[in-house]
């Protein structure tokens, strides 16, 4: 509501002030009528009645002694400047709920007159037109504070100014706002909300002076400002949530995750901090919500004092609803380290009250279709699959039964426990109806103290809260560098360009990988990337928590291509061992020392060795030398060995050497030539032929006995 003030000196003319006030009240009613019609007419009538009291309000400031003046100019209380900081202005600690438990049992006649202490930055707001606040356990809280166009002071604090240019209101951007709701009869029992101002505007229609609108939301908005990418390797959900909140500059005292195991790898991928935390909470069964003052991650161990509501006292409308919902989702996963399929069947849902149990029974009879889905988390065993499945099912179960209502009680906040009572129509006695956790609030506080609140509650025994609306990021293939490959399972660690730390060990795609009855491990194609290699990484189910190496990538400094005509295909190890297939030439198998076997494609095979060329047949683990061997060395020696015999044969000629010591030379013509030829036998020499010739210039036969027949 616009405050009253004179631009000149204090005016003691009561009649003039009354006329000015009546004129302003008339313009206010006209303004309201232009904005709202139809169903809003009754509210407009109430506004007119309130406006009729403006002259009395004006009379309170007729006495110059009651006027606050600065440099002989009147100042009507609106903003007080030069206030201490908000933290100093509000008693510590600050809680969403009153510091003392209110005795609801002895307060059946609670007056529906609500007050509010409002602070914005270092300012204290003493008058306003309206304050609206929307709160939910599944979304950001939002607020709108409307004050008069002239409710702000000039820059030096000396006079009230018309701020249609937002010269003063703009200074409120980014400031912290705190509002304490309370019944006027309990000024020391306040329910607080703390938020951040994100928008200020000047609003005006044809008639009237206009108003300043200050709006914003809960500090959780700081978590939802812009998408980000980062990863966590070997961290717990607790430590991840703590780090995320620290990055946003938020308090971490409410982080108490129920899932204590370290996660092998978790990635915030092109998503806001808020989306990532909501996704973690949904996957691992943690509660994640802001109660108006504190941000929680994990189910609290203790709830704050209950609030008792009574239909007909501070609740004037309620609706209890039962809903049929499909709640039984089956999750599955896979542990590659143990080659284990992870599954969990449906399980019994608990934490629903009488009404919820009825709705659950009906739902299970209605919905028979199975819903088997991959677990939203990177599960390493069945327990983690169970945790994610239970989280999804219990969150869905919160929709089975809820109570909606409208209340004048200003002490409700998201996450508070409410005991709802109704009066028996026959006895007029109060009867317990339900114990709830508040999940949603829509509140309006007017300048005249009227307060209205729409609320939604679910059974207090619930095992989960409704989920935040989050988006599952879709991870696309991207480049990374191998940082470690020392793993017995053939996995590698990689580091993306945006990472500070690498991933855990991840699998490598192969064109053929498996085992057989003959080969226990590494059957197929085995090629593990080297440290420093650039690789392309994909993601199972497009989940950023599940990376795997798709293959290696050449870049401009290491790629040579396939040559002219792209004829060359090759496989080369890091030491230089090479298999080269050249469609324009032949096949080359070469080791790091230059030894090679060359098949030239024209029918020629050349084996080149710098030291020894050795062929062994029949070698086994027990007999590495085998049963037959040909050895050629760099000294010019050739050795042919055979355990049974060696035969050299061509056409009708052959030389056979047996392991028994027999050497047979066979051929049509056998010539032995030399300067000196000696033939000796330790026992005898037998030369048998139909026709023998010994020819020479000189022929001698020497012996003890010589027989010639």
Question: Max alpha carbon distance in the chain (Å)?
Answer: 176
Give the residue carrying structure tokens 């990376």.
Answer: 547
d(CA 40, CA 29): 13
What angle do helix axes 273-284 and 382-397 make, rounded to 10 degrees?
Answer: 100
DSSP letter, residue 160: B
Residue pair 390/458 in contact by the 8 Å Cβ criterion: no
pLDDT at 181: 95
Say if residue 591 is exposed, middle or buried (CB neighbours under 10 Å; 0-12, 13-18, 19+). Answer: middle
**By the 8 A CB rule, do 147 and 153 touch?**
no
Q: For the purposes of burial, counting CB atoms within 10 Å of the CB of 414, is it exposed (0-12), middle (13-18) or buried (19 or more)?
A: buried
| DSSP state, residue 217 | E
Residue spans of the domains in the chain: they are: 222-291, 307-437+455-459, 474-516+524-554, 569-607, 611-649
pLDDT at 22 (0 to 100)? 57
Instruction: Output the pLDDT for position 579.
Output: 94
Spatial distance between the Cα atoms of 536 and 402, rounded to a whole number of angstroms: 49
DSSP letter at 337 equals T
CA 388/CA 74 separation, integer angstroms:
64
| Cis amide linkage into residue 93, ω under 30° from 0 | yes
Which ranges of the chain have pLDDT less than 70? 1-112, 152-165, 206, 301-305, 345-348, 350-354, 356, 359-360, 362-363, 709
Distances (CA, A) of 655 to 647, 663, 668, 670, 692: 6, 7, 13, 11, 22
> Within 10 Å of residue 282's Cβ, how many Cβ atoms?
21
317-355 residue pLDDT tens: 999 888 877 777 787 788 888 888 887 766 667 666 667
pLDDT computed for residue 406 by the predictor: 96
- Which residue is associated with the tokens 């303004």? 31
Instruction: Quote the pLDDT of residue 31.
Output: 56
The pTM assigned to this predicted structure is: 0.76
The strand ranges marked E within 68-172 are 68-70, 73-75, 79-80, 114-120, 123-125, 130-136, 142-148
Q: Do residues 168 and 150 lie in contact, with contact meaning Cβ atoms separated by under 8 Å?
A: no
Contact predicate 232/243, CB 8 Å: yes
Q: What is the CA radius of gyration of the chain?
A: 46
CA-to-CA dists, residue 193 to 118, 182, 222, 409, 576, angstroms: 10, 12, 16, 15, 69
Fold of the domain spanning 474-516+524-554: OB fold (Dihydrolipoamide Acetyltransferase, E2P) (2.40.50)
Place of tokens 């090679």: 596
Show Cβ contacts of residue 543 under 8 Å, excluding neighbours closer than 6 positions.
Answer: 376, 378, 472, 475
Q: How far apart are CA 257 and CA 286, in angstroms?
A: 6
Name the token pair of 539: 């993601």
Percent of the chain with pLDDT over 70: 79
Query: For position 18, what pLDDT does the model report?
Result: 53
Q: How far apart are CA 277 and CA 76, in angstroms?
A: 46
Yes or no: say if 632 and 595 are a contact pair by the CB < 8 Å rule: no
């Amino acid at each position: 509501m616009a405050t009253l003030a004179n631009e000149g000196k204090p005016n003691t003319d009561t009649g003039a002030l009354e006329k000015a006030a009546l004129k302003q009240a008339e313009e206010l009613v006209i303004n309201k009528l232009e904005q709202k019609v139809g169903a809003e007419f009754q509210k407009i009538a109430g506004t007119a009645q309130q406006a009729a009291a403006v002259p009395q309000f004006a009379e309170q400031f007729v006495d110059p002694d009651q006027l606050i003046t600065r440099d002989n100019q009147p100042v009507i209380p609106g903003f007080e400047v030069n206030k201490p900081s908000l933290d100093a202005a509000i008693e510590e600690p600050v809680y969403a709920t009153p510091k003392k438990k209110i005795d609801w049992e002895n307060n059946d006649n609670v007056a529906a007159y609500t007050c509010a202490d409002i602070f914005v930055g270092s300012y204290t707001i003493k008058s306003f037109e309206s304050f609206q606040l929307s709160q939910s356990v599944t979304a950001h809280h939002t607020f709108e504070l409307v004050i008069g166009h002239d409710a702000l002071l000039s820059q030096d604090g000396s006079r009230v100014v018309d701020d249609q240019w937002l010269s003063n209101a703009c200074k409120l951007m980014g400031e912290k706002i705190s509002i304490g709701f309370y019944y006027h009869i309990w000024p020391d029992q306040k329910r607080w909300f703390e938020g951040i101002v994100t928008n200020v505007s000047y609003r005006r229609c044809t008639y009237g002076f206009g108003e300043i609108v200050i709006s914003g939301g809960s500090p959780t908005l700081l978590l939802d400002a812009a998408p980000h990418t980062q990863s966590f390797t070997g961290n717990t959900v607790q430590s991840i949530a703590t780090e995320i909140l620290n990055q946003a500059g938020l308090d971490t005292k409410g982080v108490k995750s129920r899932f204590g195991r370290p996660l092998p790898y978790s990635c915030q991928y092109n998503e806001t901090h808020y989306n990532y935390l909501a996704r973690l909470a949904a996957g691992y069964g943690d509660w994640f919500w802001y109660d108006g003052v504190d941000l929680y991650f994990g189910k609290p161990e203790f709830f704050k004092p209950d609030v008792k509501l009574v239909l007909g006292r501070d609740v004037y409308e309620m609706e209890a609803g039962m809903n049929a919902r499909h709640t039984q989702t089956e999750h599955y996963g896979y542990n590659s380290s143990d080659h284990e399929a992870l599954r969990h069947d449906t399980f019994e849902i608990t934490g629903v009250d009488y009404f919820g149990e009825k709705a659950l029974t009906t739902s299970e009879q209605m919905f028979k279709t199975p819903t088997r889905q991959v677990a939203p988390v990177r599960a390493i065993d069945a327990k983690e699959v169970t945790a994610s499945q239970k989280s999804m099912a219990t969150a869905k179960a919160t929709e089975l039964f809820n109570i909606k209502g409208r209340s004048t009680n200003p002490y409700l906040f998201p996450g508070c426990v409410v005991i709802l009572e109704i009066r028996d129509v026959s006895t007029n006695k109060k009867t317990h109806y339900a114990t709830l956790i508040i999940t949603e609030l829509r509140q309006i506080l007017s300048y005249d103290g009227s307060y209205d609140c729409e609320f939604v509650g679910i059974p207090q025994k619930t095992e989960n809260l409704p989920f935040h609306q989050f988006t599952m990021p879709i991870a696309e293939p991207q480049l990374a560098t191998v940082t470690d490959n020392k793993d017995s399972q053939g996995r590698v660690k990689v580091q993306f360009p945006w990472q500070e730390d690498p991933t855990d060990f991840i699998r490598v795609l192969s064109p053929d990988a498996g085992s057989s009855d003959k080969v226990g491990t590494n059957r197929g194609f085995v090629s593990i990337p080297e440290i420093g290699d650039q690789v392309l990484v994909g993601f199972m189910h497009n989940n950023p928590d599940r990376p795997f190496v798709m293959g290696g990538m050449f870049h401009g400094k290491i790629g040579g291509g396939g040559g002219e005509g792209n004829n060359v295909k090759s496989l080369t190890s890091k030491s230089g061992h090479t298999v080269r297939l050249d469609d324009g030439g032949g096949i080359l198998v070469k080791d790091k020392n230059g030894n090679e076997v060359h098949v030239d494609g024209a029918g020629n095979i050349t084996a080149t060795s710098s030291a020894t060329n050795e062929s062994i047949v029949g070698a086994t683990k027990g007999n590495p030398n085998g049963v037959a061997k040909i050895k050629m060395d760099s000294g010019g020696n050739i050795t042919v060995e055979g355990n049974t015999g060696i035969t050299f044969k061509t056409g009708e000629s052959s030389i056979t050497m047996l392991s028994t010591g027999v050497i047979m030379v066979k051929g049509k013509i056998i010539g032995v030539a030399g300067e000196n030829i000696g033939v000796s036998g330790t026992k005898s020499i037998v030369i048998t032929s139909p026709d023998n010739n010994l020819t020479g210039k000189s022929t001698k036969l020497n012996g003890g006995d010589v027989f010639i027949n």
